[in-house]
């Protein structure tokens, strides 16, 4: 390799700053901040390295420091949003650094002028974010200069200038870069750096939120990140009584529990084989008699949830109170508590054959493995419901379904995948297979259970976490990562929830709960 080529070859290295780097750092700071106070003294840098060595980061090229980011940890509540640069740095003494604080405060970031355009600032910001996450700090806060403002100060306020920079109507060499690195402006502060004439002494108070921050870390019982889902693709077969039905249910609960699943999902009307007992009745009378078994089945499901340590979404069953016949899914938690979700939208056949009526409420349920929603079959084909649940911070949507034909299944299946993408959540669906001769309106079944995810780099390329074989009795057991949902909602390639035009439209729930 020629000497000239060696001189042109970059050898970049990200590392922590050493005191021996001072002259390189001083050279950069003097050139950049000649009108804003110049460089830190060597004594000041030495003290910053003493109080918080991990927070002082640089990039070297062939042994020479060419970019750096300096920071401290502070208890932000002691300063508030109206602080100055001198106040929060202790006038250069850094005695404001608090190892028990909650905020990483960026004091400086700078890049040698010869290295502009290489996106080294982005690398330093990414390193700061990684440090903030690893130290479990709430956020990164910094006061940001707006050096381009001096050109517009006579014609607009700082707030108007910032809005135009946000909308890319104006480019600011500092603020535009910070916005591109996922910082948002909390407010405008005055006299932050009085000597900063280019910014007219104004600054933006910038913040980057650590979405992984845990305020009170516990040794046990923390919120789960990796959640294991168990789906039962159920074969319709004749059962002579409830004991026979529950024996088959327990087999599958035991199966998914053996893999330490957090949830077990059963299909809609999984207890329909019991309708055979009422073959001498018309369909509407038979389904009301089937509802007589619901309380007993729910009670036994709850016992299984506790004894097998798994949260059970008990598909759905008919409920009849003497006036209304409804379709209901029970959540039987492994702590022994219960909740239920009614099917809201009734298909034409369900209304005509059975006289089913829809429920009036929808909820997100807290569990020890995330916040979940339940939509029974046809309900998933109404996108408003999924969005309402997403607005309540749902992590996983469970969809027990029953479909007779492939086109009916595809309606549920395609809509379920859409709900996962548009609401940035996981969606788990399962139905039943096989047939029930001589059971009116329940004679044939079609299913292909699946788990869907958002569609982005952190997830499967086709947004499908797992999928069962079609029309075969089986189970799916698969893991989903709830932390990836948090990342998707804040930093995804597209962010459907965050970027809704709420200034133009919204979904309003009219029914009083």
pLDDT digits (tens, 9 = 90+) for 433-461: 988 777 766 678 899 999 999 999 999 99
pLDDT digits (tens, 9 = 90+) for 45-68: 999 999 999 999 999 999 999 999
Across 89-103, 195-209, 214-228, 368-382, least confident range: 214-228
Q: Given this model, what pLDDT does residue 39 score?
A: 83
Arithmetic mean of pLDDT, 329-341: 95
Report whether 110 contacts 124 (CB < 8 A). Answer: no
Arithmetic mean of pLDDT, 18-45: 87
How far, in Å, CA of 20 to CA of 134, rounded? 26
Q: Given this model, what pLDDT does residue 6 score?
A: 45
Fold category of 12-209 in CATH: Aminopeptidase (3.40.630)
Nearest to 108 by CA among 53, 149, 67: 67
Q: Given this model, what pLDDT does residue 37 score?
A: 66
Residue 1 has pLDDT above 50, yes or no: no
Residue 4 has pLDDT above 50, yes or no: no
pTM over 0.95: no
Q: Given this model, what pLDDT does residue 440 score?
A: 66
Length of the chain in terms of residues written? 513
DSSP state letters, 324-384: -EEEEEEEE-TTS-EEEEE-----HHHHHHT-----S----EEEBTEEEEE--GGGGG-HH
Residue 226 has pLDDT above 90, yes or no: yes
How far, in Å, CA of 412 to CA of 395, rounded? 19
Report whether 325 contacts 287 (CB < 8 A). Answer: yes
Across 19-28, 211-220, 284-293, least confident range: 211-220
How far, in Å, CA of 184 to CA of 206, rounded? 6
Judged by DSSP in three states, 442 sits in coil
Residue 374 has pLDDT above 70, yes or no: yes
Report whether 25 contacts 45 (CB < 8 A). Answer: yes
Q: Given this model, what pLDDT does residue 437 score?
A: 75
Which ranges in 1-157 belong to alpha helices (H)? 3-8, 22-32, 42-51, 85-88, 120-134
**Long-range contacts: 6-9, Cβ < 8 Å, 24+?**
9/62
Residue 38 has pLDDT above 80, yes or no: no
Query: Beta 139-144 vs 311-313: how paired, if at all?
Result: unpaired
What CATH code is assigned to 226-491?
Answer: 3.60.110.10
Q: Which residues of 63-94 are buried (b: 16+ CB within 10 A; e: fewer)?
A: eebbbbbbbbbbebeebeeebbbeebbeebeb
The domain segmentation of the chain, as residue ranges, is: 12-209, 226-491
How far, in Å, CA of 483 to CA of 132, rounded? 16
Nearest to 288 by CA among 318, 267, 317: 318
Report whether 306 contacts 293 (CB < 8 A). Answer: no
Percent of the chain whose predicted confidence (pLDDT) is above 70: 95
Report whether 389 contacts 397 (CB < 8 A). Answer: yes
Q: Which residues are catalytic?
A: 268, 343, 377
Arithmetic mean of pLDDT, 205-216: 87
SS3 content of the chain, % helix, strand, coil (to 5): 35, 25, 40
Structure tokens at 241: 């009584």
Q: How many CB atoms lie within 10 A of CB 348?
A: 7
Q: Given this model, what pLDDT does residue 5 score?
A: 42
Instruction: Provide the mean pLDDT of the chain.
Output: 90
Q: Given this model, what pLDDT does residue 3 score?
A: 45
Residue 125 has pLDDT above 80, yes or no: yes
Residue 321 has pLDDT above 50, yes or no: yes
Structure tokens at 386: 């999924």
Q: Categorize the per-residue pLDDT at 266 as very low, low, confident or very high, splitting at 50, 70 and 90.
A: very high
Q: Categorize the per-residue pLDDT at 137 as very low, low, confident or very high, splitting at 50, 70 and 90.
A: very high
């Amino acid at each position: 390799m020629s000497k000239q080529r060696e001189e042109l070859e970059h050898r970049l290295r990200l590392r922590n700053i050493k005191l021996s780097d001072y002259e390189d750092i001083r050279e950069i700071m003097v050139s950049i901040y000649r009108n804003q106070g110049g460089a830190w003294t060597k004594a000041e840098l030495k003290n910053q390295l003493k109080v918080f060595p991990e927070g002082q980061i640089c990039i070297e090229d062939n042994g020479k420091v060419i970019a750096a980011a300096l920071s401290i940890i502070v208890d932000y509540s002691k300063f508030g949003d109206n602080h100055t640069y001198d106040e929060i740095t202790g006038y250069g003494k850094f005695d404001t650094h608090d190892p028990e604080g909650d905020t990483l405060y960026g004091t400086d970031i700078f890049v040698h002028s010869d290295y502009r355009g290489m996106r080294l600032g982005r690398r330093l910001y990414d390193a700061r974010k990684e440090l903030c996450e690893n130290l479990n700090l709430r956020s990164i806060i910094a006061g940001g200069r707006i050096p381009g403002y001096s050109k517009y100060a006579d014609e607009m306020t700082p707030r108007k200038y910032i809005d135009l920079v946000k909308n890319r109507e104006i480019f600011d060499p500092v603020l535009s870069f910070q916005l591109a690195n996922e910082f948002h402006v909390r407010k405008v502060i005055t006299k932050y750096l009085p000597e900063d004439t280019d910014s007219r002494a104004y600054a933006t108070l910038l913040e980057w939120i650590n979405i992984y921050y845990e305020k009170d870390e516990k040794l046990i019982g923390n919120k789960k990140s990796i959640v294991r889902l168990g789906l039962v693709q159920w074969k319709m077969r004749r059962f002579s009584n409830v004991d026979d039905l529950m024996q088959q249910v327990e087999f599958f609960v035991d199966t998914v529990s053996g893999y330490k699943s957090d949830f077990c999902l059963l299909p809609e009307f999984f207890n329909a084989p019991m309708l055979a007992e009422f073959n001498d009745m018309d369909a509407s009378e038979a389904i009301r008699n089937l509802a007589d078994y619901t309380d007993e089945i729910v009670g036994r499901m709850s016992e299984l949830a506790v004894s097998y340590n798994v949260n059970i979404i008990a598909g759905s069953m008919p409920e009849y109170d003497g006036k209304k016949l409804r379709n209901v899914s029970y959540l039987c938690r492994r702590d022994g508590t219960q909740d239920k979700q009614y099917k809201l939208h009734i298909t034409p056949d369900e209304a005509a054959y059975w006289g089913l009526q829809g429920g009036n409420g929808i909820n997100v349920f807290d569990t020890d493995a995330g916040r979940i929603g339940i939509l029974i079959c046809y309900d998933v084909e109404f996108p408003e419901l999924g969005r309402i649940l997403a607005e309540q911070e749902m992590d996983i949507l469970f969809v027990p379904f029953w479909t007779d034909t492939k086109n009916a299944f595809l309606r549920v299946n395609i809509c379920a995948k859409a709900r996962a993408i548009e609401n940035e959540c996981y969606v788990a669906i399962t139905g039943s297979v096989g047939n029930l001769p001589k059971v009116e309106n329940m004679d044939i079944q079609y299913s292909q259970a699946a788990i869907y995810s958002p569609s982005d780099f952190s997830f499967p390329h086709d947004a499908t976490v797992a999928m069962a074989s079609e029309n075969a009795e089986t189970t799916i057991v698969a893991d989903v990562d709830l932390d990836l949902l948090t990342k998707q909602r804040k930093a995804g390639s597209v962010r459907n929830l965050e970027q809704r035009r709420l200034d133009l439209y919204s979904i309003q729930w009219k029914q009083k709960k």
